[in-house]
Structure 1
């Protein structure tokens, strides 16, 4: 059971990194630092969008808009940190 919890913790941490990379990628794309017409860049952007958008779109339904600032990745990261701490401090010690 502890191995399953370890895998869940690793997957949650990887998703945090995917969210951070997606946010940085969107900033680079918005400020024309990277070329959106490049096929490799478009593929990376599409993959990041497909990985993050299902979760972020659900959070955006409940979060008010702050102009052009999207705070949904921050909220998802905070929720993931909360889940990780609940697993580490409450579930993990009680598993045999």
Structure 2
């Protein structure tokens, strides 16, 4: 179970890092054809896209990354609690 626990934490951390990278990339003029930019967008869009459809931008401010970070944290905690209960 420790392996699964570690995997959940690493996956959540990687997703958080990708979302923070996406936030930073959105503030800078970047070439969308850049390989790194494409990878970050491909990782984060399946998470941010559905949130963006449900929660429209408020005054031009996209809150989907913030909501995604919160949801990832909640999912991480719930999964770890389940894994600890099963173990």
Q: Under a length normalisation based on structure 1, what TM-score does the superposition of the two structures give?
A: 0.76
- Aligned residue number for residue 9 of structure 2: 9
How far did 1:18 drift?
0.6
Q: Map 1:1-96 to 2 at 5 A.
A: 1-29=1-29, 36=31, 42-88=34-80, 90-96=81-87
Q: Give structure 1 stretches of 5+ with no counterpart.
A: 30-34
> Which aligned runs of 4 or more in structure 1 are off by greater than 2 angstroms?
none
- Give the root-mean-square deviation of aligned CA atoms: 2.0
Number of residues of Structure 1 aligned to a counterpart in Structure 2: 87
- Report the structure number with the largest CA radius of gyration: 1
CA drift of 1:27 comes to 0.5
Whether contact under 8 Å (1:5, 1:92) holds in the other structure is yes
TM-score by length of 2: 0.83
